[in-house]
A and B are shown apart, each in its own frame.
Chain A
Amino acid sequence: MSKSTIVAAMLVAGMSLSLGLGCKKPEPVPAPKPKVDDSDARARAETEARRKAEEEARRKREEQERAEKARLADMEKAKAFQRAAEAALKDIHFDYDQSDIKPEDKATLQGIADFMRSYPQAKLQVEGHCDERGTVEYNISLGDRRAASTVNYLVGLGSSRDRCSTISYGKERPLCTDPDESCWSRNRRAHFVLRK
């Protein structure tokens, strides 16, 4: 059986099916068809079926192209989002045993607030960290204070609190472990992570 006859058969079946739908009455007895040579009709149906199959294939191809374009566009968007996030989400730093935002970090925080405005779907986790000087437990509280102070500053710049969660790691996840001020000052930080 050729493809076109299958398609034609399906079309006929489909038509009779659709005719039958919603029809509760007993089916009328079909009038006897006039006996004609049906080779012309068959050729027409085959042509029509071929045309429809080609159209379907074209439609699918176009759909795939559209999807691919959309995928590439999404990827571009995601890449742009990642680039913007990487550019904006820089660590900010704190003085010893302090959680106040330092003047030199205000531009960074403005950049983060701008990023949050440009990408309304973005959600942040703000991590508070401490240097090694201080007890484990006190530093967890201090890291929390730094993360909260950072979020409160971002909220003041218009960021939504619902999109900013906090977590404190205290002195548990240092960037460096040298016992000197240059290392300690790096570790006294708020770090920004995108969350789902």
Chain B
Amino acid sequence: MIIAPSIPFPILLALLALPAAGQETQVNLEARTGSLQAIAFSLSTQDGLDLDWANVHFGDVIRKDLSLTGVFREMPVPSPQDPNVKAEMESPFANGHHLFLKVSLGKSASGGYSAQAETLDPRAGKSIFGKSYTGSEAVLRRMAHRLVDDLVARITGLRGVAESRILFAKEISSGVKELYQVDRDGHSVRPLTRLGSLTITPSVSADGRLAFLTYKAGPPELWGQQQPDGPFIRLYPSKPSQGGTISTPVWSPDGKRLAFVEGDRRGNTNIKVLDIASRRVRLLTDKSGINTEPAWNPSGTQIAFTSDRAGYPDIYLMEDDGSNVRRLTSEGKYNASPAWSPDGSMIAYVSRFESGFDLFVYKLAEGKAYQLTRGPGSSESPAWSPDGRFLVYTNNASGSSRLYTTDLAGNAPQQLSDISPTQSPEWTRSR
């Protein structure tokens, strides 16, 4: 499904500005599209492995990963069966300054598989990347992902996210939602919870601990893990909830604190932070109205959040002790869902236009917002990829809410998975 008109490559004016009156047009948030690195890829086999089998189970995984990196575009290889390296490098294809990734898959001594990867740079006339990978059949896909991430790190200095995963909540039946995870390439969907109740808003710490909101006991409570792969336990409140609203758990970057939202009897909801070791809770906002959607900066010193204190939902920033509150957005009548980029320089958020939301990115240094999506449907809950190259979000233009990714260069968003209805994706390397 295409949720934005397909844009011819290369694209020059990638990002268009907020359409609101009085806004100046913002273009070219990131003109990366034209500089995609061309790469040719060929897979060969050893030890009697069937090449067709190897292509389906390993080669195609690498191909899809390469196409998803936002770094490479694949070029065809003239003779994939038996690539003559020298001829290849001197062929007309080499004139496109493309890299050439050669991977050979064979059997390992331990009964699994072994892959030798090499990347040639025709311009340099030499190999610029060589690495071998070994693993059982169960981790064959993962070997492919790791290879591509290593290659992206070698070429760009910033590791790719092929091996990362996206966590999300999915509706199972009316009023029942559970948490799932899926590989970045849309493969290997796995359930994370089986609580049989409304379970939503996953957060995952840097060391892989989950936190989420569940109504399994009736009133909503924050549950999650104290250790990676540990059992799910109630994180807050310390005793079973007797009612009232608790929501939106978000791990701090160091995983020692959990920001969340709690309501009072007047119906105000405020942001609090639970220190996991001491069990102490600190109130950060103390305002009437709605204060929610806490989002940590990468160093854990500031929190972006949504508040309706000025009459409409808008994004604000504050220090992690609740001081120095300042307003970030003021255009439009509904700005929400802040998500701080991994390098700290940008805040992604949603803003309402007509009946749905579109994605925006606010560049803190410039003090300007850029629009990333333009319908159709509502685009919600943006979350950054760990490398900051992409956002994952949900869009409902197909009639049901599905996961999509978009880069910052204005390329057409891509559907990540056909699973639906989904909500609240989180992108992590740690699971």
* Distance (whole angstroms) from the CB of A110 to the closest CB of chain B: 21
Q: Which B residues are in CB contact (< 8 Å) with A148?
A: 263-267
Check A167–B263 contact: CB distance below 8 A: no
Nearest 8 A-B pairs (CB), nearest first?
Answer: A148-B267, A165-B243, A144-B245, A145-B267, A141-B269, A141-B290, A144-B263, A140-B247
Check A141–B243 contact: CB distance below 8 A: no
* Distance (whole angstroms) from the CB of B234 to the closest CB of chain A: 17
Cβ contacts A to B, 12 pairs, < 8 Å = A133-B356, A136-B380, A137-B201, A138-B290, A138-B313, A141-B247, A141-B292, A144-B267, A165-B244, A167-B243, A173-B174, A173-B198
Check A161–B293 contact: CB distance below 8 A: no
Q: Which residues of A contact B (CB under 8 A)?
A: 97, 99, 125, 133-138, 140-149, 151-152, 161, 165-170, 172-173, 179
B219 on the A face (CB < 8 A): yes
Q: Which A residues are in CB contact (< 8 Å) with B248?
A: 137, 140
A165 to B265, CA, bound (A): 10
Check B355–A141 contact: CB distance below 8 A: no
Check B247–A137 contact: CB distance below 8 A: yes
Q: Knowing A134-B336, A138-B336, A144-B245 are in contact, say whether A99-B292 is a contact too (CB < 8 A).
A: no
A179 to B352, CA, bound (A): 15
Partner of A166, one of B245, B313, B350: B245
Check A135–B381 contact: CB distance below 8 A: yes
Q: Which residues between 251 and 277 of chain B lie within 8 Å of chain A, taking CB atoms?
A: 261, 263-269
Check A99–B267 contact: CB distance below 8 A: yes
A99 to B267, CA, bound (A): 9
Q: Which A residues are in CB contact (< 8 Å) with B266?
A: 148, 152
* Distance (whole angstroms) from the CB of B112 to the closest CB of chain A: 42
Q: Which B residues are in CB contact (< 8 Å) with A97?
A: 308, 312-313, 334
With CB as the reference atom, state the residue of chain A lying closest to B269. A141
Point out which of B244, B290, B293 has the most chain A C-beta atoms below 10 A from its C-beta. B290
Check B247–A166 contact: CB distance below 8 A: no
B306 on the A face (CB < 8 A): yes
Number of A-B contacts (CB under 8 A): 114
Partner of A133, one of B201, B245, B293, B352: B352
Check A137–B267 contact: CB distance below 8 A: no
Check B269–A169 contact: CB distance below 8 A: no
Partner of B336, one of A135, A143, A169: A135
A179 to B378, CA, bound (A): 11
Check A136–B201 contact: CB distance below 8 A: yes
Q: Which A residues are in CB contact (< 8 Å) with B293?
A: 135, 137-138
Q: Which residues between 167 and 225 of chain B lie within 8 Å of chain A, taking CB atoms?
A: 174-175, 177, 198, 200-201, 215, 218-220
Check B245–A140 contact: CB distance below 8 A: yes
* Distance (whole angstroms) from the CB of B119 to the closest CB of chain A: 42
Q: Which residues of B contact A (CB under 8 A)?
A: 174-175, 177, 198, 200-201, 215, 218-220, 242-245, 247-248, 261, 263-269, 289-293, 306, 308, 312-313, 334, 336-337, 350, 352, 355-357, 378, 380-381, 423-424
Q: Which A residues are in CB contact (< 8 Å) with B247?
A: 137, 140-141, 168, 170
Check A138–B292 contact: CB distance below 8 A: yes
Q: Knowing A138-B313, A138-B336 are in contact, say whether A168-B380 is a contact too (CB < 8 A).
A: no
With CB as the reference atom, state the residue of chain A lying closest to B267. A148
Check B219–A167 contact: CB distance below 8 A: yes
A169 to B219, CA, bound (A): 10
Q: Which B residues are in CB contact (< 8 Å) with A149?
A: 267
Q: Which B residues are in CB contact (< 8 Å) with A172?
A: 175, 177, 198, 200
* Distance (whole angstroms) from the CB of B42 to the closest CB of chain A: 45
With CB as the reference atom, state the residue of chain A lying closest to B268. A145
A116 to B424, CA, bound (A): 39
With CB as the reference atom, state the residue of chain B lying closest to A172. B198
A145 to B200, CA, bound (A): 20
Check A168–B336 contact: CB distance below 8 A: no
Q: Knowing A135-B306, A141-B290, A149-B267 are in contact, say whether A166-B261 is a contact too (CB < 8 A).
A: no
With CB as the reference atom, state the residue of chain B lying closest to A179. B355
Check A169–B334 contact: CB distance below 8 A: no
Check B292–A125 contact: CB distance below 8 A: no
Partner of A168, one of B263, B306, B313: B263
A151 to B243, CA, bound (A): 13
Q: Knowing A135-B350, A141-B292, A149-B267 are in contact, say whether A125-B243 is a contact too (CB < 8 A).
A: yes
Q: Which B residues are in CB contact (< 8 Å) with A141?
A: 245, 247, 261, 263, 269, 290-292
Q: Which A residues are in CB contact (< 8 Å) with B245?
A: 140-141, 143-144, 147, 166-168
Q: Which A residues are in CB contact (< 8 Å) with B380?
A: 135-136
Check A136–B423 contact: CB distance below 8 A: yes
Check A140–B292 contact: CB distance below 8 A: yes
Q: Which B residues are in CB contact (< 8 Å) with A170?
A: 247
A152 to B268, CA, bound (A): 13
With CB as the reference atom, state the residue of chain A lying closest to B243. A165
Point out which of B244, B268, B350 has the most chain A C-beta atoms below 10 A from its C-beta. B244
A173 to B200, CA, bound (A): 12
Q: Which B residues are in CB contact (< 8 Å) with A143?
A: 245
A138 to B381, CA, bound (A): 11
Q: Which B residues are in CB contact (< 8 Å) with A146?
A: 267
Given contacts A137-B293, A140-B247, A165-B243, 18 further A-B contacts (CB under 8 A): A97-B308, A99-B267, A134-B336, A135-B293, A135-B381, A136-B423, A137-B247, A137-B248, A137-B336, A138-B290, A138-B336, A141-B269, A144-B267, A165-B244, A166-B243, A167-B215, A172-B175, A173-B175
With CB as the reference atom, state the residue of chain A lying closest to B213. A140
A90 to B229, CA, bound (A): 45
A144 to B244, CA, bound (A): 8
Q: Which B residues are in CB contact (< 8 Å) with A165?
A: 219, 242-244
* Distance (whole angstroms) from the CB of B169 to the closest CB of chain A: 8
